[in-house]
Chains A and B, each alone.
Chain A
Amino acid sequence: MTEKKIRVLVAKPGLDGHDRGAKVVARALRDAGMEVIYTGLRQTPEMIAEAALQEDVDVIGLSILSGAHMALVPRVLELLKEYGMEHVKVFVGGIIPDEDVPALMELGVTGVYGPGTLTEDIIRDIHNALSIAPAA
């Protein structure tokens, strides 16, 4: 009852309707004991940052299979900064070409995950990311 839970927002930004991966990840994180706020499809970066603020999440998970990640992810990170939420860890999954990964990491993304990722790896990385830099 007085336990700290890891809170994660799982969102699908942009117009892409591939939601299987996001749902698989959401369920896996729930089964790992986390509280996952799932906002559904077609979220704008503004909606995502606002929801993350209201829900005071530790982690944002963006699932993008449309190819629009280089437009969407930087905008989300920018808004988080604007809202004073740099402490939130951002994870990105979906179809992300290898050559885009360094640029995303450079921008401040904590991890990028493609098809076939084991959910155990995602869970482990979330735990690591939060204990290395616990939310202020």
Chain B
Amino acid sequence: MNLTTDVLAGKRLALARLLTHIENGTPEGRAALDELFPHTGRAHLIGITGAPGTGKSSLVNQLARFYRHPANGSAPRKVAVVAVDPSSPFTGGAVLGDRIRMRDLAGDPGVFIRSMASRGALGGIAIATAGVVQAFDAAGYEIILIETVGAGQAEVDIARLAHTTLVVEAPGLGDDIQAIKAGILEIADILVVNKADRPGVENTERALKNMLQLAHPTRRVFHHHGQVMMVEAPAAPQPEAQLWIPPVLRTVATEGEGIAELTEQIARHGTFLRQTGDWNRRERVRLQNELDTLLQAALVARWRATLPNGRYGEILERLVARELSPRQAVEALLAPQPSNLATP
């Protein structure tokens, strides 16, 4: 069977098989991704990150339900979920448990859930996550929800991959808000205070709002006839369209409370990205990163093939013996070969 045609025809078994090829980095997987690439670029990629147990999977469950059964009567959208859990650094195995919270999505052919192990990657997603997302995009999934490993760090990789990144907090997890949140504002497009049924919501919410204000000292927020307007620098030409200040929203994922508002903000962020041109800019940066990474790997591989046998090991030994610094080792490797020059 031809994977690409079957995936484009909507065959779920073929898609599942392709995702495995992509995870395992097989030549079949790579070839299929090449063929599928022209069909990508249509989905809204939504990242969901936050500390362990804050309710990411429960939120994904509710968001997917909402997109499948929109309250406002609009058409249901096809939803893919990519849920990443950590691999054991010792055995390479993993227990992937995010599906436990997504049982409401069972039996709906418009939803496809795939669990992934991080396989040693440290940024909250796996190396193959971007490829898996591409396959879903090509297969016509319009909304792709990507749940990261619950690490509690600022997961920059997800912000790079997703169009819209939700950072999920919950009351009572870390009272030391300042310490955990460093860097999170750089990646959050929307801040979610989940478990709003629990005591301490106000504190968590206030702490986040305070941090937002500190993080944007140059921005002034104006309340104008009940509307919030944001102005950056006095000279900015169309200021209100240029700035996105992450909204802070309360949810109770177990009950579905606050989900409609959350999806509204996600849609608003999507519109914002498109109107400001940021959608295309992000896409461009992401593709350029990918190009550069692949280019570097290809160049190194090609160059390595031209090295005489043993040369690399020789230099490595001298580096280990501290006869050469790492920089000198690079220079020595890139220098014209002594065997070509020396005339014994």
Residues on A facing B (Cβ under 8 Å)? 1-5, 7, 26-27, 29-40, 43-44, 46-47, 50-51, 53-56, 83-85
CB of B27, distance to nearest CB on chain A (Å): 10
Additional 7 contacts, C-beta under 8 A, given A5-B93, A32-B91, A36-B95: A31-B91, A31-B93, A35-B115, A36-B93, A37-B99, A38-B100, A84-B13
Of residues 107 to 129 in B, which have CB atoms within 8 Å of A's CB atoms?
107, 112-115, 117, 119-120, 127
Binding site for A on B (CB under 8 A): 12-13, 16-17, 19-20, 23-26, 87-88, 91-97, 99-100, 103, 106-107, 112-115, 117, 119-120, 127
Please give the distance in Å from A21's CB to the nearest CB on chain B: 15
Identify which of B87, B94, B112, B120 contacts A54 (C-beta below 8 A): B112
Select one of B88, B114, B120 contacting A55, CB under 8 A.
Answer: B114
Which residues of chain B have C-beta atoms less than 8 A from A35's C-beta? Answer: 87, 93-94, 96, 115, 117
> Smallest Cβ distance from A87 to chain B, in angstroms?
11
* Residue on A nearest B121 in the bound complex, by CB: A1
Asked if B13 and A83 make an inter-chain contact with CB atoms under 8 angstroms apart, the answer reads yes
The main secondary structure of chain A at its interface with chain B is mixed
Q: Is the CB of A56 within 8 A of B94?
A: no
Those 6 A-B pairs whose CB atoms lie nearest each other, nearest first: A2-B25, A30-B93, A40-B100, A56-B16, A47-B106, A33-B93
* Complexed CA–CA distance, A51 and B95 (Å): 15
Contact (Cβ within 8 A) B106 A38: no
CA distance A44 to B120 in the complex (A): 33
CB–CB B17/A5 < 8 A: no
Least CB distance from B131 to A in Å reads: 12
Question: With A35-B117, A46-B106 given, is the CB distance from A55 to B95 under 8 Å?
Answer: no
Q: Which of A4, A38, A43, A53 contacts B13 (CB 8 A)?
A: A53
In the bound complex, do residue B24 and residue A4 qualify as a contact, i.e. CB atoms below 8 Å apart?
A: yes
Q: How far is the CA of A3 from the CA of B120 in the complex (A)?
A: 12
B107 touches A46 (CB 8 A): yes
Partner of A53, one of B12, B120, B127: B12
- Known contacts A1-B120, A31-B88: does B94 contact A36 (CB below 8 Å)? yes
Tell me which residues across on chain B come within 8 A of A83, comparing CB atoms: 13
Q: Which residues of B contact A7 (CB under 8 A)?
A: 20
What residues on A are CB-neighbors of B119 within 8 Å?
1, 3, 5
- The residue that A29 contacts in the complex, of B23, B25, B87, B93, with Cβ under 8 A, is B93
